[in-house]
Amino acid sequence: MIDLVIHGKPVGKARPRFSRRGNKVVTFTPRETQIYEQNVKSLAQVAMLGKAMLEGPVKVTITAYFAHKKKTGWHISRPDIDNVVKAILDGLNGVVFADDASVAQLVASKHYGEERVEVQVENV
């Protein structure tokens, strides 16, 4: 089992952006998403030191916490949970498992609390 905590505000994967370069249209991932995914990848590399990449089907549990001074319980505003999951899985891809296609079970939730994302990955 691999456990990691990404401290700070959870970031959802943003939609790709488009830009013109002369006569061509270029697609790119927004900078905030790139930085967040790289942070997840770096933390995953540290968690994987001395461990082999997980093979076969895996279960991923993602719990995202968002700060709010007065609210407690479930977080039901943006970013969407699927976008948070996508950013995390893209950061784990190629480090914890070879490809996120090997994720056979996924449990994800959003809550209020100290800003962070807790991730557990295990073989099933």
At 10-59, the pLDDT tens digits run: 999 988 788 888 888 888 778 999 999 999 999 999 999 999 999 999 99
Q: How far is CA 39 from CA 21, 22, 43, 72, in A?
A: 29, 33, 6, 27
Domain ranges of the chain: 2-123
- Give residue 113's pLDDT band: very low, low, confident or very high (50, 70, 90): very high
**Contact assessment for residue 30 and residue 50, using Cβ atoms and an 8 Å cutoff:** no
pLDDT score for 104: 97
pLDDT score for 20: 85
pLDDT score for 42: 97
Using alpha carbons only, give the angle 62, 35, 123 rounded to the nearest 5 degrees.
Answer: 30
pLDDT score for 110: 97
Q: Does 119 score more than 90 pLDDT? A: yes
Type of residue numbered 72: T
Mean pLDDT of 85-94: 97
Q: How far is CA 40 from CA 23, 57, 73, in A?
A: 35, 21, 25
**pTM of this prediction exceeds 0.95:** no
Q: Does 85 score more than 90 pLDDT? A: yes
Homologous superfamily, domain 2-123? Holliday junction resolvase RusA (3.30.1330.70)
